[in-house]
Structure formats: structure tokens, C-alpha cells
Chains A and B, each alone.
Chain A
Amino acid sequence: MPLATLPVLTPALPEIFLAVAALLLLMAGVFSNAETNTRTISYASILVLLVTIPFVGMVTEGRSVTFGGAFVTDTFAVYIKALVLISAAAAILMSKDYLKIQGIERFEFPVLIVLATLGMMMMISANDLIALYLGIELQSLSLYVIASFQRDSTRSAEAGLKYFVLGALSSGMMLYGMSMIYGFSGSTSFDTLATIFHDLHGHAPAIGVIVGIVFITAGLAFKVSAVPFHMWTPDVYEGAPTPVTALFAVAPKIAAMGLFIRVMTGPFGDLGGQWQQIVIFISVASMLLGAFAAINQTNIKRLMAYSSIGHMGYALIGLAVAGVAGDVAIRADGVQGMLVYLGIYMFMNIGTFACILLMKRDGRMVEGIDDLAGLSKTNPGLAMVLSIFMFSMAGIPPLAGFLGKLYVFQAAIQAELYTLAVIGVLASVVGAFYYIRIIKVMYFDAPADELDTGISLEMKAILVVTGIVIVFFIFYPMPLITGAEHATAALFHK
């Protein structure tokens, strides 16, 4: 009897490194004096995440597969993983003050984020329905816990529970969809599925496959909080501790978007006609809901929840383009636009949440939009940075947010999805209304009670870096765009 051969581990090296590091950090936390070492472990976690980035970039040479074809790394994975790692590191960096103020400074927090990040990286590299599910669950379980990390707060507990119940529901739907796909095609491997559906030569697949795609799409739409699977978002955003919200707004969404792209363009790449209309629908619905529902919000975290729903709608335009039958170049443009959008989205959100985390009065956190009143007088620097982010989110040139929108709309126009593009730009006008309302509150309204002005070094660094990226992106956009181009190439030129 031959010994089972060990799979080639090199493609998964960053994940293995991250897993080992997470366990070591956990050990270090458990076996040392937790109170004094939380800081050290936070910084160690950040370091681990950042070290993983060059690791991720180093491994890839073309496309390599391992674990019996269930795990893949390519330039696409590298791009998305880099975004996820940066945002996870930023979330930990931002959390320090907040955790101290709320009295929940525990070493588990950074470790859980590292574990969640590991799950996200597994998702991004999934090349099999089972691997996809494993990645999602590892990510979600860690996120459920940190959503309710503030144990004494009922709101935080509620957020965690809500997230858990609805997340479990969506996982169930996704599993059901997967079983349908498996039942009607006989495989869970993305590569095999792609071949099977390619061989249909444009004929409609079995109805069970379509049902399966619908359920998988629903599950993924839940993860990216696209309408109509968005209901959890505002409550979880509001209830969860703010650094956790900051993490939720970027890392898991970007990872889930990456997964969405891979699933739709990979195994189901030749079935665009079947899923494109679903994606168009959720895209339109998300843009409109994100724009209109945010208008009446008074809590800035809830506002950001709706804003992120809207942004996911814009990003999904790119996926809708990728579902167009025919020209590969146009489909690739859609995905590239989406990747550029997600990259810019990450910087805007990290910056905005850093600003939100600085909203303190007498040492306590506040989160009402009205609390920002007159900030331009009491703290001009912060007000200026936050208004830059807001204008950028509204998509006003010359800020980076505009270029993100430009890329997805350009793809939509090329693919002749004119109605989608028109609805998108009109929704962005409505969206602009609530973004500029924040600027109005800061600049035009009389000052409310002053917010605390001290800004820690970490926060300053985050604000300066993200601010510079957003303002100067237009002068030198090529790094991100070239990255997105390489990433897209991996999906469309196998």
C-alpha cells in the first residue's frame, strides 16, 4: 500500500503561515499575563498580517493549484488578498483606543481577526464548492464572535446574534445550492464544472443547476450585503463595536466580492445568460436602497451601513458586465472595473471609520451625525479629511471615488448596459445628498459641544495615508489599475 503523498504546499504557504501564526499568538495570549500583553499581541497580529502580504505576492507564478484542485492561487487571489490583509491590519490598528475606552481590551480580539482573515483568504483561493464553504465558515464564525465582543452591551450581543442567525440561514441556502449543483453536474470542482458548462455550447443547463446558481448567488449576496439580503447590515453595523464595523465594511465584503467574481466567472462563466439578470437586479436594488434609505439616518454607523450597501451595488455593475455573453475583453473590463472600485472603496472606508473612531466626547464614544456639528471650527484637520472622504464616496472628481465609479460605468457602457448605468448615476446623485449632508453638518452648522481633539499616532498615520491616497490617486492611478489588470488577466486567460 503506497503512502498517501503529501500535497504540494507551496501555493498555500501564506495561509499556512497565517494559521500557524494565529495559533502561536493565541498561545502567547493564553500563557502570558493577558492585561499587559494585549498590546503586544495586537502589534504582533498587525505584523503577521503585513508580513503575509509579500508572502502572498511571492508565491504566485502563474496559476497554481493544490489540495486535489480545491485550492488555487493566481494574480487575482493576490490582489484581493492584499486588500483584505491591509484592511484587517488597519482594523486592528484602529481598535486600540476604542477597546480601552470600552474596557474590552482582550488579546482574543486581534487573534480572532487574524483567524477571520485566514478564512477570507481560503475563500478567495477556493477552487471547489467544499473549499468555498470551509473558507466562508471559518471567516463567519470568527466574525460572529467579534461582532458581540462587547459582552456587556446588549446592542453588541444583539448584533452578534443577528449576524449569526442570518449568516447561518445564508450558509444553509448556499449549501443547498451547492448540493443542487453537485446533483445535476456530478462535481464540486470549479475546473470540472467550468468544462461541463462550457460543453453545453450556449444551451441552457438543467433546471436544477439554475436553482443551484440562484441559491449560491443568494448566499453570496448575503455576504456582500446586497439587497434583498441586506437586512442584517444596519443593525450589525450599529451594534458591533466600531472597529469591528470598520472591519465588516471592508475585509469580509472584499473577500466575498472576490469569491463572487471567481464563482461567477469560473465555474459559471459560460452561464452568464442565466445569472446576469439576477446580478443586475441586486445591483440596481442595492444602489437604490443604499441611496434612499440612508437619507434619514441619524447614526453615522447606520449611515455607513447603507452607504456600503450602495457601494456594493456599484461594484456589482462590474459583475453584471462580466455576465455579458461574447467578447472576453468587455467581460474582463467589468471585473477590472470592479477590482479598481473595491481597492478605492477600501481606502475610503478605512479612512472614514478612522474618523468615526475619533468621535469622542469627554472620553466617551459618540456616533450621532449631529455630534459632528461645527467640527470644522473645533477640529479643522479632521473635518477636512472627513469631507474629502465624503466627497470621494459621493464620487465627485478629482477624488479617487470618482475613478472607481468611472471604471465600472465605463465597463457598463461598453457592454451596452445603458439602463443599468443610468440608474447607477442617478442613484449616485441621491447618494451624494447624504454624503454632503455630513459635510454640511461639519462646515455649515454651529458648533455643538466640542469633541475631544487628541489624535493618537496610529490614527494620524491611517488618516494621512488614506487621505493622501484618495486625493492624489488621480495623479498616479497606475499601481492599483495595473494590479487590477493583472488580477483580471488570471481569470480570463487561462
Chain B
Amino acid sequence: MMTNFPWLSVITFAPLVGVFFILLIRGDEETTARNARGIALWTSVVTFFVSLGIWVNFDNSTAAFQFVEKVVWMPGLNLAYHLGVDGISMFFVILSTLLTVICIVASWVAITDRVKEYMIAFLVLETLMVGMFSSLDIMLFYVFFEGVLIPMFIIIGVWGGPRRNYAAYKLFLYTLAGSVLMLLAILTMMSEAGTAEIPKLLKYDFAPTLQPWLWLAFFASFAVKVPMWPVHTWLPDAHVEAPTAGSVILAGVLLKFGGYGFLRFSLPMFPLASADFTPLIFTLSVIAVIYTSLVALAQEDMKKLIAYSSVAHMGFVTIGTFAGNLQGIEGAIIQMLSHGVVSAALFLVVGVVYDRIHSRDIDAYGGLVHRMPKYALIFMVFMMASVGLPGTSGFVGEFLILVGAFKANTWVAAFTTTGVILGAAYMLYLYRRVIFGELTKENLKTILDVNAREVAIFAPLLLIVFVMGIYPSLFLDVMHVSVENLVDRYQSALAAAQHISAVAK
């Protein structure tokens, strides 16, 4: 059905149509704001439903890229406008479109200043995110990957908190410094392989002496994005200063750029270097899981705590990815999707009370369950999902990753498991201090429970958390063939290299 429909182009560029209409709005501030919100919401909702179309029409039985579109772009450099998704990238497209809707609804009343620009920034961001996940041309990928910095810089800098300048600069320069080296690596690959098409590059065997350099250049970029310890320090700053929706999109989608990059590029394109550097990744990830969990335990700022927990959870993702086996990689993808939903939800949870009290200090709260029972329930579900309680999405990801890690390296699995325990510790500690206890603070005595709009935001996220936790096959079946193909490619490249070195002896 509708096989020739340019699904991905429509999903990618539909938000820009919304931007165009928002630009046309004239009138006083009140009307402009109202119309901008309306247009942005409609655009993002339509985009989201269109994006569900790729799930419905997705063929689970093949590892090949689907919904492929290709138009020559710059023939001199062999570049093409080339889109397509496989089982690995498909869900990220939907995650991006879903979270954009959530962000726009979440900013409905919180953002009153320069609403028009704000909505434009988010819609442009959506285009770039979707484009990034569906690019099949490596240079096109880079364009989207890097272009995200522009709206993100503006979102944090204009609508952020008191230290927003510092945070916006840090985000921009850290990620830019990481990704320019990747640009050079991409150019080297293009010159080496003579093509910029990702499907062809996935099959190209780069020289074993070149692989470590290319791998390191990609690592510089993805490690900053993930973020991995010790280059994670931009993340807490960015999260704390960003407006709620900015944090949501940052934690929900942008961090996945790094994890997705490792899966799409590092592992299949430089398998030998990936195997050589796996101990490095494992070490950094284990440090991230344990160290940032401990740091999270000591936080006084709710957003900062969740930011550090993101670093820890993304540490799981990198461990699963570089375990290099089916369970590890599927776990990594599920963990990314789950974290995309759960951390986004947790930032929204913080946003709910922040909008009412305008404080992110944990000490400013306490005993909220007495005034906000519904809120307490929602918070609890997402908190449990973050901890990895069976039945929630967090469990599936963490469990699969630990299985994969155990197969690859038992010590790594053992250390990683402590992260699960520490995760439970800081989340429960946070929950107890905010929700339970006596309601003593004066300003909390009149606080209102979540309203209909907020429930509407959380409802789809709750649904996903449970569906993914109870019936993960719905997601795993889609990615299974693609991941199997990736693992095959990785393992066979390693086996071939081993064979060569054995023969050489």
C-alpha cells in the first residue's frame, strides 16, 4: 500500500510547512502567540500520525532499508539526498515526532515570551532530528546532526534559566568540537570508499590501519553527544538551564544521536577498531554508571539529578552496544527508546511542580502526595520505570543489556549491575523527599494537582512505558532482523580479521 509515497520526506519536511505558516502570522502579541501555538500543535500532531505510517507499513522480515528515496544532490562530491529507515532507526523517527508534540503541549502555558520564535525553533528541530535518523547519505546525516545545534542553542539561550548563556555556549562548543573531527573522518571515508551512501559504506571494509583513526574521530563526536564520562559535563548545565521542553527533547532525542551513531557507524563500519576499543568503552561506561549514580545521589536540584541519571542510563546503552551481541544491541535500542520516554517524562514531572512553585530544589518540596495524589502516582510510575522495575520499559532494556554484557564480559556485567542498585537508591530517595513526609511548606499548601492538559501529556507516555514493559516483542520484532544483520556483519568482520592474522602466523 502506498509504496511510492515519500513517507520520510513528508515526515522530515512537514514541520517546515508549519514554520512557513507561523512566519506569516501578523497581529498583536496575544493573537500571534495563540496562533503560533495552534499551528505548531497541528503540524506536530499531523507529522506524528504520518510517522506512525512507517511503522504500519514497515516490513519486519528484511534488514534492508525501507521507504528509500534518492535524489542527486551534489554530483561532484557524489552526494545525494538519500533517505530510508531500517529496524534500528525507525523507532527513533517516531520517538522524535512524538516528543515534539509533547514538547509543544508542555510549553503551552509555560512559555509566554516570543512564542512564535519558540515554536519555530521546535519545528525546525523536529525536521533536523527526523532527517538525522533517516539519512542514508553520510554527509546529509552530518548536516542534520550538526544543524541541531542552531535551534538547541537558541532554545536554551533565549528561554533558559539564569545561567543560560554559559549552558548554551557549553553545549554548542562541546558538541561542535566533537563533531568537526567526525566531519574530517566522513570526508576521509568518502575519499577512501568513493561513496557517501550509508548502505554501501556499511559493506565497505576500511583498511585495518585506518579504522582506529576513523573510529576515534566518530567517538569524539558521539561520546560528547551520549554523553560519556568524562565529557558529560555539558549535560547537567544544559538540562538545568533549558526550559522544560528543551530538557525533554535533549534527554529524549538528542542524547540518542550518540547511541544511534555508535550503532549505525562505529560498530558496522569499523568493526575491528570497535573490538579493539571495546575495553575503553566498557571502562568509561562502567565509570559513568557508578560515578554519575553516586553524583546523582548527592544532588539538591531535581533536574540535575535526572540529568546525571541520564548519563548513567546512557552508560548502559554504550555497554550494550559494544557488547556486540544480539541481546546487548537490542537492549541498547530498547533502553534508548525507554530512556527517551522516561527521562522526557521525568523532566515533565519536574516541570509540573516548577511551573507552580518556580523552584527545582528538592528541599523546596515535601509531602506533595497530600495535595497532589494523581501527580504522585504519575511520578511513581516513571520513577519505577527509570529504576527498571519489571513490567516497565526500563526493565526490558536493562535486562537485555545485562544479559549481553554478561556474555561479553562478566566483570562489566557485575559492575553495571551495581548501577541498577544505585539507580534505585537515588530515585527512591528523590521520590521520598519530594512526595512523602509532612506537608509543612506554606506555599505548597495551596498547590494544585495535575490538570487535564498535563494528564494528556503524560497519558501516551504512561501507555508506552507499560506496553514496552509488558509486551516488548512489539518493538523487538521490528528491529530483530536489522540487529541480527548488524551483529552478523560485526562478528564476521572480526572472524575474518582473526583468520587473516592466524594465517599470517
Which positions in A face B, CB cutoff 8 Å?
336, 376, 380, 391, 396-398, 402, 406-407, 409-410, 413-414, 418, 421-422, 425-426, 428-429, 432-433, 436, 439-440, 443-444, 474, 477-478, 481, 485
Contact = CB atoms under 8 A, between A and B. Distances in A.
Nearest to A418: B184
A320 B154 CA distance: 36
B184 A409 contact: yes
Given A409-B187, A413-B184, A444 B157 contact: yes
B27 interface: no
A388 to B, nearest CB: 9
A396 B183 CA distance: 12
A481 B75 CA distance: 10
A425 B184 contact: yes
Given A413-B184, A443-B154, 19 more contacts: A376-B114, A376-B117, A396-B149, A396-B150, A397-B143, A407-B77, A409-B183, A413-B188, A414-B187, A421-B187, A422-B181, A422-B184, A429-B177, A429-B180, A432-B176, A439-B153, A439-B157, A440-B168, A481-B76
A397 B177 contact: no
B146 interface: yes
B191 interface: yes
B158 A444 contact: yes
Contact of B173 (A413, A432, A478, A485): A432
Contacts of B38: none
A429 B114 CA distance: 29
Given A406-B139, A413-B188, A425-B181, A444 B168 contact: yes
14 contacts: A376-B114, A391-B150, A396-B176, A397-B146, A398-B143, A398-B147, A422-B181, A425-B184, A429-B180, A439-B153, A443-B154, A444-B157, A477-B73, A481-B74
Contacts of A376: 114, 117, 158
Contacts of B73: 477
Interface string B319-343: 0000000000000000000000000
B180 A413 contact: no
Contact of B143 (A380, A402, A410): A402
A245 B180 CA distance: 31
A424 to B, nearest CB: 9
A110 B194 CA distance: 49
Interface of B: 73-74, 76-77, 114, 117, 139, 142-144, 146-147, 149-150, 153-154, 157-158, 164-165, 168-169, 172-173, 176-177, 180-181, 183-184, 187-188, 190-191
Contacts of A444: 157-158, 164-165, 168
A440 B76 contact: no
A432 B172 contact: yes
Nearest to B187: A413
Contacts of B176: 396, 429, 432
A376 B180 CA distance: 29
Contacts of B77: 406-407, 410
Contacts of A380: 117
A443 B77 CA distance: 36
B191 A485 contact: no
Contacts of A398: 143-144, 147
B257 to A, nearest CB: 14
Nearest to A429: B177
A409 B179 CA distance: 14
Contacts of B153: 436, 439
A439 B169 CA distance: 11
A475 to B, nearest CB: 9
A410 B180 contact: no
Contacts of A410: 77, 187, 190-191
Contacts of B76: 336, 481, 485
A481 B180 CA distance: 23
Contacts of B169: 433, 436, 440
Contact of A429 (B143, B164, B173, B187): B173
A478 B74 contact: yes
Nearest to B181: A425
Interface centre among B150, B158, B168, B173 (most CB of A within 10 A): B150
Contacts of B117: 376, 380
A433 B187 contact: no
A273 to B, nearest CB: 22
B109 to A, nearest CB: 21
A15 B462 CA distance: 73
Closest 10 A/B residue pairs (Cβ): A425-B180, A397-B143, A413-B187, A444-B157, A429-B177, A397-B147, A397-B146, A414-B191, A398-B147, A410-B187
Contact of A443 (B158, B184, B187): B158
Given A413-B191, A443-B154, A444-B158, A421 B147 contact: no
Contacts of A477: 73-74
B158 to A, nearest CB: 5
